[in-house]
């Protein structure tokens, strides 16, 4: 099936009280592992691409070519959206040109008026081209691609203002952060999430920083309207641990163990296992 935008899969998720996972990709192994797992579990999926990862993979057109090729040659029939993660205004336009099916415009660091203005313009372009669009209110903490957010809680009124612009999905900061959570993390602010959902109604809400959030908090967030959950670091950690083990066990020194197809295989399997665990937790299995 060709790429789809994320609107239908997220509307269904919100109505069905589950969430679709957004898993960030870094290379061919990542992409293939995520697509095959989604197909095996009959789950919709969103492939996230940060601007840094897009650059690393030789540009957005390369990413689009790789993903479209895999959808066809791996016979992927579940709904797949290719989504720009934390895009700038310029990055969003480039991805729209390159053939992404969904974008995120992260204007959370702008004053709210400027965030509204730029989001509004991109909503109009996405509507015309049939793409889905995610906006953000209240910076997500932690570091991603060198951008450090404070992890604030969004103002529910501002969330409503942005939701009313016609975005497909809304990321509201609720004390979540990217990367590993510190020991003294206070947890998600369900009070904020509840207030945002009350004002935004059926709008699918997005939870960033999915790595390391305890299962009970994930379930509660879904019950309060979260329909898309982003996971990045956890796949990286799983890949790293499996690759480290392969080398520490000396497997790269045995026979043809130096062959990159062998060297990267344990990491590939580790990503698949992580994605499977998350899809089961989010409730998206058999929802394709």
Q: Show which residues are catalytic.
A: 85
Q: Shortest approach of ligand 13P to residue 219 CB, angstroms?
A: 17
Nearest CA among 81, 79, 84, 35 for reference residue 57: 84
Of residues 39 and 211, the one with the C-beta less far from ligand 13P:
211
Residues 71 to 90: which contact ligand 13P by CB under 6 A?
A: 85-86
Q: Structure tokens of 33?
A: 């592992």
Residue 108 near ligand 13P by CB under 6 A: no
Q: Shortest approach of ligand 13P to residue 234 CB, angstroms?
A: 6
Q: What is the rounded CA–CA span in Å between residue 82 and residue 4?
A: 8
Residue 227 near ligand 13P by CB under 6 A: no
Of residues 182 and 201, the one with the C-beta less far from ligand 13P:
182
Task: Identify the residue among 211, 243, 274, 284 touching ligand 13P (CB under 6 A).
Answer: 211
Q: Structure tokens of 188?
A: 């998600």
Q: Shortest approach of ligand 13P to residue 140 CB, angstroms?
A: 6
Residue 228 near ligand 13P by CB under 6 A: no
φ/ψ of residue 32, rounded to 5? -65, -40
Helix or strand or coil: residue 56? helix
Q: Structure tokens of 61?
A: 């057109």
Residue 234 near ligand 13P by CB under 6 A: yes
Q: Shortest approach of ligand 13P to residue 206 CB, angstroms?
A: 8
Residues 162 to 181: which contact ligand 13P by CB under 6 A?
A: 178-179
What are the Cα distances from residue 22, in Å, to 67, 120, 227, 239, 279?
Answer: 15, 24, 10, 17, 10
Nearest CA among 207, 203, 204 for reference residue 217: 207
Residue 102 near ligand 13P by CB under 6 A: no
Residue 209 near ligand 13P by CB under 6 A: yes
Q: Shortest approach of ligand 13P to residue 213 CB, angstroms?
A: 8
Task: Identify the residue among 39, 43, 230, 243 touching ligand 13P (CB under 6 A).
Answer: 230
Residue 225 near ligand 13P by CB under 6 A: no
- Taking CB under 6 A as the binding criterion, the range among 154-162, 190-198, 203-211, 272-280 that sits at the site for ligand 13P is 203-211
Q: Shortest approach of ligand 13P to residue 67 CB, angstroms?
A: 17
Give me the helices (H) in the chain, please.
7-16, 28-41, 51-56, 60-73, 89-98, 112-129, 156-163, 190-200, 215-223, 233-248, 260-263, 265-282
Residue 210 near ligand 13P by CB under 6 A: yes
Q: Give residues with Cβ within 8 angstroms of 204, minimum separation 6.
A: 10, 11, 13, 14, 168, 169, 170, 225, 227, 228
Q: Structure tokens of 223?
A: 């019950």
Q: Would you say 285 and 279 are in contact if contact means Cβ atoms under 8 Å apart? A: yes
Parallel, antiparallel or unpaired: strands 102-105 and 80-87: parallel
Of residues 251 and 276, the one with the C-beta less far from ligand 13P:
276
Interface positions with ligand 13P (CB under 6 A): 24, 48, 85-86, 178-179, 208-211, 230-234
């Amino acid at each position: 099936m060709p790429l789809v935008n994320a609107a239908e899969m997220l509307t269904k998720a919100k109505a069905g009280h589950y969430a679709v996972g957004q898993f960030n990709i870094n290379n061919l192994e990542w992409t293939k592992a995520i697509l095959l797992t989604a197909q095996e579990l009959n789950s919709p999926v969103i492939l996230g691409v940060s601007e840094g990862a897009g650059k690393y993979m030789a540009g957005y057109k390369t990413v689009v070519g790789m993903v479209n090729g895999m959808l066809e040659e791996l016979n992927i029939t579940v709904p797949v959206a290719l989504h720009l993660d934390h895009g700038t205004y310029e990055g969003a336009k480039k991805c729209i040109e390159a053939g992404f099916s969904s974008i995120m415009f992260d204007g959370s660091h702008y004053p709210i008026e400027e965030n509204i203005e730029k989001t509004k313009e991109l909503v109009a372009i996405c509507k015309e081209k049939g793409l889905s669009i995610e906006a953000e209110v209240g910076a997500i903490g932690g570091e991603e691609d060198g951008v450090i957010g404070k992890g604030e809680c969004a103002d529910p009124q501002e969330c409503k203002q942005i939701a009313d612009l016609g975005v497909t999905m809304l990321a509201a900061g609720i004390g979540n952060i990217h990367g590993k959570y510190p020991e003294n993390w206070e947890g998600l602010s369900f009070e904020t999430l509840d207030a945002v959902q009350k004002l935004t109604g059926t709008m699918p809400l997005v939870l960033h920083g999915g790595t390391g959030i305890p299962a009970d908090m994930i379930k509660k967030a879904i019950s309060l309207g979260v329909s898309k959950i982003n996971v990045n670091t956890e796949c990286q950690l799983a890949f790293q641990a499996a690759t480290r083990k392969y080398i520490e066990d000396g497997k790269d020194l045995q026979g043809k163990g130096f062959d990159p197809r062998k060297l990267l295989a344990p990491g590939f399997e580790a990503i698949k296992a992580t994605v499977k665990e998350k899809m089961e937790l989010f409730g998206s299995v058999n929802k394709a």
